[in-house]
Copies of this chain bind each other. A is one copy, B any other.
Amino acid sequence: MSRAEVLASVDIVALRLNPAGALDLLLIRRARAPFADRWALPGVLVNGRCADPSLDAAAERALHDKARLRPQHLEQVATVGNARRDPRGWSLSTFYLALVAPATTLEDEDLRFVALDEVLHGRLALPFDHAELVAQAHERLAGKAVYSSLPLHLLAPRFTVTEALAAFQACLGQAVQHTTLRGRLERMKSAGWILDTGERQQPRMGRPQRVLEQRPGAGGVYLFDRSVLS
């Protein structure tokens, strides 16, 4: 087949909403060169030898094999390719945005969560062009948070309005009127995407909060017909 081939990988930008209401990024300590022992995005090489039925399956494999995680949402963001991003030569990376449950914990010593902001603001450097991939994945998330229910995939199946508010604010990077969010959740309830489980949950103080339940429909995200934030 000659040498009409190229080095290709799938990399995962996996995010978790931590109890403080900020986003965490999953990193893995690289086992092999280049950049051995450096913390980087989890990923796998794709090629004919691995029996990945599709690129999306390769992304799931990357997250499952490397971190034993199954994301609540997984979507392809884009593919970058050039001669500079990998010291081994011209290479491609198709990278995915993954949202994992807030209770997610890691077993392995070679896995950790770091504050997403540390990477976005350049205070934590990543090998290859991984910081750029993280930035693009975050941009996708922030963009969709404006007009879709995507941030709900950062929550457990049963959640409260307060938690949903934290998810949206973490994705958007700014405050959201709770009345606006309540209106949107109400519309999702009418559409059958959210159920009101009659149960209540008691915060440390104050009035008890209703417990809602997600029932994602086709496509995984509910699309609102207007943008939040003017």
Contacts and interface: CB of A to CB of B under 8 A. Distances in A.
A94 B81 contact: yes
A20 interface: no
Interface string A1-37: 1011111100000000000000000000000000000
B92 A55 contact: yes
Interface residues of A, number: 34
Most buried by B among A3, A47, A49, A78: A47
A89 interface: yes
B1 A47 contact: no
Interface of A: 1, 3-8, 45-49, 52-55, 58, 76, 78-83, 88-90, 92, 94, 147, 225-227, 230
6 interchain residue pairs of minimum CB distance: A48-B90, A5-B5, A55-B81, A225-B227, A79-B79, A6-B47
